[in-house]
Amino acid sequence: MLILTCPNCGEAKDETELHAGGEAHLKRFGPGSSDADFEAYLFERENPKGVHFERWHCAPGCGKWFHAARCTMTNEVFGTYSAQTTEPPENIKDAITAKRPGWHWRQFS
Amino acid sequence: MSNLRSFEGLVTVREMPLRGMITLRGDTEVMTAALKSVGFELPERGMCNGAVVWMSPDEVLVQCPHESVGQTLAALQSATQSMHALALDVSDTRTVFEITGAATREVLAKLAPIDLRSAQFPVGKVRRTRLAQIPCAVWLREESAAEAIIFRSVAEYALGVLQSAAHPQAAVGYFASNKM
Amino acid sequence: MSTRLNTGGRLIDRTQIQNFSFNGKQLSGFAGDNLASALLANDQMLMGRSFKYHRPRGVVTSDGSEPNALMNLGEEGRFEPNARATTTPLFEGLYAQSQNHFPSLEFDVGAVNAKLARFLPAGFYYKMFIHPRPFWKHIYEPIIRHSAGLGKAPKARDLDTYEHFYAFCDVAIVGGGIAGLQAALIAGAAGKDVILMEQDGHWGGRAPVDGDIIDGQPAEDWISATLKALEAMENVTLRTSMQGSGVYDHGYLLGYQRLADGAPGADGPRHRLWRIRTKQIVAATGAIERPLSFAGNDIPGVVLASAVRDYLVNFGVSLGDRTVVVTNNDTAYLTALAMKDAGLEVPLIVDARTGGAGALGEAAKAAGIRVETGKGISSVKGGKRVTSVEICAQAGEGAPLEEIACDVVAMSGGWSPVVHLWSHCGGKLIWNEAEAMFAPDPERGPIGADGAAFVTTAGAASGAMTTAAALADAHTKLGGPGQPTPAQDPLTNPIEPVWMMPQSASYKLRSKAWLDFQNDVKVSDVQLAAREGFESVEHAKRYTTLGMATDQGKLSNINGLAVLANQLGTDIPSVGTTTFRPPYTPISMAAIAGEARGEIFQPIRKTPMHDWHAQNGAHWEPVGHWRRAYTYLRGEETISEAVQREVKNTREALGLLDASTLGKIIVKGPDAGKFLDMMYTNMMSNLKVGRCRYGLMCSENGFLSDDGVVARIDEDTWLCHTTTGGADRIHGHMEEWLQTEWWDWKVYTANVTEQYAQVAVVGPNARKVLEKLGGMDVSAEALTFMGWADGTLGGFEVRAYRISFSGELSYEIAVPAAQGRAFWDALMEAGEEFGVMPYGTECLHIMRAEKGFIMIGDESDGTVIPQDLGLSWAISKKKEDFIGKRAQLRSHMTDPNRWKLVGLETVDGSVLPDGAYAVAEGANANGQRNTQGRVTSTYHSPTLDRGIAMGLVLHGPDRMGETLDFPRVDGTVVKARIVDPVFFDPEGEKQNV
């Protein structure tokens, strides 16, 4: 039962006040994309033991989406941040590096 | 509405009469300007300044007398005419229950997974959360008075869970206001 | 015999007699008793039967680890099975029955299993009941199910109420023994918000029973003084009868408070489940005494030494006149001394250690108690009660040296720290060789959100087994100021592990040495499991059922895995423990459900007209959380008759539908048109102000997700109708794309579903009734099909949409929700002369099916794309992109063999079964008949007076007129012809008037 702080309303939200939204930082592929790219976008997901980036929805709450960087093994939370970005911000990456030197996830490290 | 529902238990719960409510969406500048045009201020994040309830970074709920909602809405709409904003009359969307008494925090804490200790939940704070199984905005109006703003279709459910939580023999005595 | 002594009993009030019933016998005890102590006071040692062999079982503990004394408690609406007598407070009128026996506790026919014990070893069921295979389903399983389970399942509805409480604090301390009290005192004095909970009804744990001296005073006095100090602290909350049941991620702790178990029927909740979020959890949960594994250790009267002491000191109950104490550590000597002190006989202390005890050994000798060191119990004699023990050399094979008459055997195999709360969330253990126990590894605690351990242990739970060590541990863990509180106890000599007694016991003895008393698992069973290859402790547990009883192995696990390790020729740490899972002891299901029962089991959404429907014969249908009228019953008619009547009346005169539940979402902004073009498969940006358009929404994987009518309100505002179940979901879907993909687009949305009551006014007389109400112009010219307009009707401010889901002349009128009921009443009144009747959702469904309109959830099921449903006309070819477009280009989506929507008309006019499949020639790889289509909606059409249906059929639209076979469940076949899905008024003459 996680508690995550929504960066939009600033509240520490109980997991029962949140909806999980799967992996963060997916790049959308639409018409014109190759079958391989589109299928990867739809179906291929990371399933790491360790550092992971996820989307969460603050509902019932401020109704906004946000991202969380979390360790799937210990549930340590490295930080939460705006969903309106295509990659984790530097301060989040630094926080992870401080705790998990040498981490990498998809193209980020 | 003549048949306003109410009951007494650990706290007194009363359904509030129909209230003018307007959803206003826009960025901080737009909302500030629009609210100013009707004599209101934009509340701080997570707070209610009496009239205006902070709902999210780009949304507030403006409360006014039901009779003047048309006028207030028109003023807000005209103030934001040239801006990207949304102002809608939502007066019929919600029901408000007022909860009063020393056990106000305690009754809410039986239904909402939120930290209601006074240091963490000062008077004036608004928290959008769940009340048992329904969405709810909890506004601590005074130390011993709160308002629970919920959707009108689930008003009876809200009343039911509040009544169960406020059973006279179900005092917990956890908060400073009614410590046991 | 066990009896109440004339003096003693620190927890009972002899002035308050409480009468209770056990197996029909009327007995009495005192206030402060628990059910076990009260039964023992009445010489009722026999309290149950074991699960497998139905062996007689007496109480073996004095706490929540009790495996034997399980009761069916109460009756009817307050019936509860598997209640532990040791944790059940006594009250006037308590009604208890023992379990798992037939016909009676004293004489039980199931006990014949015990005679067959040789033939019922570990894994017997797995080996026996596999052959012959068909026997399992029809013979073995029914018999095993009949004999399975200990208590009876409750049959009546629970009369009590329950609730949750969300509490946040800095430090939550579980366990109100001396370590917990000490921890609370330190945290409280440091100004932290503290919750201290104790599962029993009293504070102090074992210290007062064991006669410890703390800070120079008797433990009892120190406890009172400490409690007084804690009660004076505003920031400390103290609760007894509240168990710390489970620890979960991020400082989540469940506290199970039993408010009224000692006063059934009291006004107010029976249990309260505290859902605590805390920065730190301190598990000051103490330790549990272990049994010793010797032959006959399950005979009633063989009891943990600490429990014998507890019953004596706490309740003034002696378990017997002659107590033989058997131990491998010092603590059991306290029992011998206490019994002797109470004037009871202790013929012998059997100490497996060659060195015996130190100070306590001297004290025992001084009290005149005979002590034999280096000895063990060879076997216990007796049936339903111990009669004697045979002692032997611990180092040998069990040759009896001497038989000693006794009626109680007080055993102690050492102590296991209660590490459950530490372990629930991942805290690791280390084996402490010197103390022969698993204790928390302070370096590897459960990790919280910040990456630091959020659970600590204090006192005996840490493995600090003396009073002084326990207090010092609490002091260190909580970072207390100055020096720890000093304390003394008489424990001096170390434990010597004894996993089998005697050390080399013969098979005959081992097969009578119990590990798990409730599930009848013996030393020999675990050894057999190891020999048969179940080497992992988790496998051995499941194969033998060791530790799988309701006590979750509290007494048996360590002994069992020691036996396993021994048999495997390895050490205990390499075998490891099984996983500790919450709750610590079973908690009531009702406490977990909390307030969510009866009327408030889940939210029921009600429209503004709900009460009218209820008062006018509504037969309800749940749609999402809404309740909608399925139909309105009149007089004696059946549901189906009512539905048929409503369809006919709406087609011939006038029907009203409460359509308030339909989702309504406002989408506004300079980019709203562009956004809606992405959301819908068809074009919405070119919709003209004042007009409506039917739209389809797909998910990104191409499947049809929702549909509804979109109205353009002004230049940059649209109103999107969704299905009833789709309102919140579609609003969320829109916001998700806006917030996470196109956050630079200028669009705001608002879910205004509940702002409006909406009424569909349908039928040939629809316009007449609106004109009678008067106000806005609703003529064919002013408000054309698929147009909308704002205005007034009968004095109500309305928005009227001229849309139709029935093929009739139809308006949907929206009014502010608070006026919904008044508007509905006005329509009913005005409509009377036009033959108005309300209609429900089933009538709605039939009328749309007659017109060939699809219904989300019937024709779509998450695997259907709009192209399957003949809806290609609603998919824009012009748009470069929309949600789902790319997916619909995938090879499987463009496969010409996808089943397509058609109408189905039974040859004999009957109604096709819902969901029926059309069979094709041949069979698939699993030997199942091949299929070529299925029914998605099926009804009796009163308009056509025949069965009509829609379905998805292979190459369906190209096979008009062909007949398909649809087998029914009973094996008969219905034949249906493939036809056009529009059964009624294909030209739309009725709606376009």
For chain A, the domain total comes to 1
Residues of C in contact with A28 (CB under 8 A): 741
> Measured between CA atoms, how close is B12 to chain A, in angstroms?
25
Q: Is C560 helix (H, G, I), strand (E, B) or coil?
A: helix
Query: Which segments of chain A have a pLDDT < 70?
Result: none
Structure tokens at C404: 């000693």
- What per-residue confidence (pLDDT) applies to A44? 97
Q: Specify if A41 maps to a domain.
A: no
Q: Contact C421/C454 with Cβ under 8 angstroms? A: no
- For residue A89, give the 3-state DSSP assignment: coil
Parallel/antiparallel/unpaired status of strands C271-283 and C162-174: parallel
- pLDDT at residue C708 in the model: 97
Q: Which of A28, A35, A77 sits opposite C449 (nearest CB)?
A: A77
Contact C277 B84 (CB under 8 A): no
CB C755 to CB B93 under 8 A? yes
Q: Using one digit for the tens of pLDDT, what is the confidence trace for C244-276? A: 999 999 999 999 999 999 898 889 999 999 999
**In the block, residue with structure tokens 């039928």:** C763
Q: In what order do the strands lie in the sheet with C810-816?
A: C788-793, C796-801, C810-816, C756-762, C654-658, C836-838
How many beta carbons lie within 10 A of that of residue A100, not counting itself?
Answer: 15
Residue B4 has pLDDT above 70, yes or no: yes
- pTM here is 0.95
Q: How many Å apart are CA C40 and CA C30, to the nearest integer? A: 12
Inter-chain CB proximity B25 and C756 less than 8 Å: no
Give per-residue pLDDT as tens, C548-570.
Answer: 888 889 999 999 999 999 999 99
B167 and C754: CB-CB below 8 Å?
no
- Cα maximum dimension of chain A: 41
Write down the pLDDT at residue C549.
86
Q: What's the pLDDT tens digit per position in C150-166?
A: 788 889 999 999 999 99
User: Which of C282-296, C526-540, C671-685 is least confident?
Assistant: C526-540
Q: What is the model's pLDDT at position C101?
A: 76
Within a domain: A55: yes
| SS3 of residue B161 by DSSP | helix
What pLDDT, on a 0 to 100 scale, did the predictor assign at position C787? 98
Residue range C975-990, pLDDT digits in tens = 999 999 999 999 999 9
Contacts of C801 (CB under 8 A, 6+ apart): C692, C709, C711, C787, C788, C811, C812, C813, C814
Is A16 within 8 Å of B135 when comparing Cβ atoms?
no
Within 13 Å of residue C544, how many CA atoms lie on the same side as its CB?
A: 36
What is d(CA C180, CA C284) in angstroms, rounded to the nearest whole number? 5
Question: Could you tell me which residues are beta bridge partners of residue A53?
Answer: A69
Q: Which of B115, B157, B176 sits opposite C604 (nearest CB)?
A: B157
Rounded to whole angstroms, how far apart are CA atoms C312 and C217?
A: 22
Residues contacting residue C348 through CB under 8 Å, at least 6 positions apart? C324, C325, C369, C370, C371, C372, C391, C404, C406
Give me the CATH topology for the region B6-16+93-169: Gyrase A; domain 2 (3.30.1360)
Task: Flag whether pLDDT at C52 surpasses 90.
Answer: no
* C766 contacts: CB under 8 Å, gap ≥ 6: C654, C808, C809, C810, C811
Q: Tell me the one-letter amino acid at C67.
A: P
| Interface with chain B: mutation pick from C242, C600, C601, C674, highest number of B CBs within 10 Å | C600
Helix (H) or strand (E) holding C162: strand C162-174
Q: Show the domains of chain C with their CATH numbers.
A: 3-112 (3.10.20.440), 162-287+417-488 (3.50.50.60), 291-394+402-413 (3.50.50.60), 502-596 (1.10.10), 610-661+755-848 (3.30.1360.120), 663-754 (3.30.70.1400), 896-993 (2.40.30.110)
- Which among A1, A38, A75 is the nearest to C886, CB-wise? A38
Exposed, middle or buried by CB within 10 Å (0-12, 13-18, 19+), for C544? buried
Give strand pairing partners of C432: C437
- Average pLDDT value for chain C: 95
Tokens of residue C566, six digits: 């021994």
Contact A9 B56 (CB under 8 A): yes
Whole-angstrom distance, CA of residue C901 vs CA of residue C457? 65
Select from A3, A63, A99 the Cβ nearest to the Cβ of C451: A99
pLDDT for the residue numbered C131: 72
CATH architecture for residues B20-89 = 2-Layer Sandwich (3.30)
Contacts of A64 in chain B (CB under 8 A): 56-57
Residues in B touching C603 (Cβ below 8 Å) = 132-134, 154, 157
Q: Helix, strand, coil proportions of chain A in percent (round to 5)?
A: 20, 30, 50
Q: Which of A10, A61, A64 sits opposite B45 (nearest CB)?
A: A10
Confidence of residue C116 (pLDDT cuts 50, 70, 90): low
Tens digit of each residue's pLDDT (9 = 90 or more) over C132-148: 777 777 777 766 666 65
Mutate to test the interface with C, among A39, A56, A72, A74 (most CBs of C within 10 A): A74
- pLDDT tens track for B61-81: 999 999 999 999 999 999 999
Would you tell me how many other CB atoms lie within 10 Å of the CB of residue C8?
Answer: 17
Q: Answer left, alpha or beta for residue A29, where phi above 0 means left and psi between -120 and 50 means alpha.
A: beta
Contacts 24+ apart (CB under 8 A), C873-880: C874/C681, C874/C682, C874/C694, C874/C695, C874/C696, C875/C681, C875/C682, C875/C696, C876/C677, C876/C681, C876/C682, C876/C683, C878/C683, C879/C677, C879/C683, C880/A31
Distance CA C679, CA C882 (A): 6
Chain C residues with CB inside 8 Å of A61's CB? none
For B157-172, the pLDDT digits (tens) are 999 999 999 999 999 9
Asked if A85 is an interface residue toward chain C (Cβ–Cβ < 8 A), one would say: no
What pLDDT score does B1 carry? 44
Inter-CA distances, C472 with C479, C480, C481, C485, C706, Å: 10, 9, 11, 7, 65
Q: Read off the pLDDT band of C108 (50, 70, 90).
A: confident
- In A, which residues are within 8 Å of B56 by CB distance? 8-9, 62-64
Query: Which chain B residues are closer than 8 Å to A16 by Cβ?
Result: 113, 130
> What pLDDT band is residue B178 in, cutting at 50, 70 and 90?
confident
The pLDDT assigned to C878 comes to 94
Residue A35 lies inside a defined structural domain of this protein:
no
Q: Which residues in chain A are contacts of C700 at CB distance < 8 A?
A: 42
Q: Where are the domains of chain B?
A: 6-16+93-169, 20-89
List residues in chain C touching A: CB distance below 8 A. Answer: 248-252, 277, 426, 447-451, 700-701, 732, 735-736, 739-741, 743, 880-881, 885-887, 889-891
Query: Is B132's CB within 8 Å of C596's CB?
Result: yes
- Asked if residue A2 belongs to a domain, the reply is no
| CA A69/CA C582 separation, integer angstroms | 27
State yes or no: pLDDT of C325 exceeds 90.
Answer: yes
Q: What pLDDT sits at residue C118? A: 67
| A64 in contact with chain B, both atoms CB, cutoff 8 A | yes
Q: Render pLDDT for C936-970 as a digit per residue (tens, 0 to 9).
A: 999 999 999 999 999 999 999 999 999 999 999 99
Chain A partners within 8 Å of C678 (Cβ):
none
| pLDDT tens track for C829-873 | 999 999 999 999 999 999 999 999 999 999 999 999 999 999 999
A60 touches chain B (CB under 8 A): yes
Contact: C887, A38; criterion CB under 8 Å: yes
Residues of C in contact with A62 (CB under 8 A): none
Residue A20 CA to residue A55 CA, distance in Å, equals: 6
Mean pLDDT value of segment B34-48: 97
Do A2 and C250 make contact, defined as CB atoms within 8 angstroms? Answer: yes
Range of the domain at A73: 13-30+47-109
Q: What confidence score (pLDDT) does residue C106 get?
A: 78
Closest CA to C326 of C379, C382, C288: C379
pLDDT of residue C134: 75
CA distance C274 to C741: 40
Note the pLDDT of residue A61.
94
- Strand residues in C198-251 grouped as ranges (E): 213-214, 217-218, 236-239, 242-248
How much is the pLDDT for C148? 55
For residue C292, give the nearest of C417, C379, C373, C354 by alpha carbon: C379
Give pLDDT tens digits for C802-829: 999 999 999 999 999 999 999 999 999 9
Residue B129 Cα, gap to closest chain A Cα (Å): 5
CATH code (residue A81):
3.30.2270.10
- What's the pLDDT band for C308 if we cut at 50, 70, 90? very high
Mean pLDDT in residue range C204-217: 95
To test the contact with chain B by mutation, choose from C169, C254, C755, C797 the residue with the greatest count of B C-beta atoms within 10 A, namely C755
CA angle at C85 for the pair C81 and C87, rounded to the nearest 5°:
105
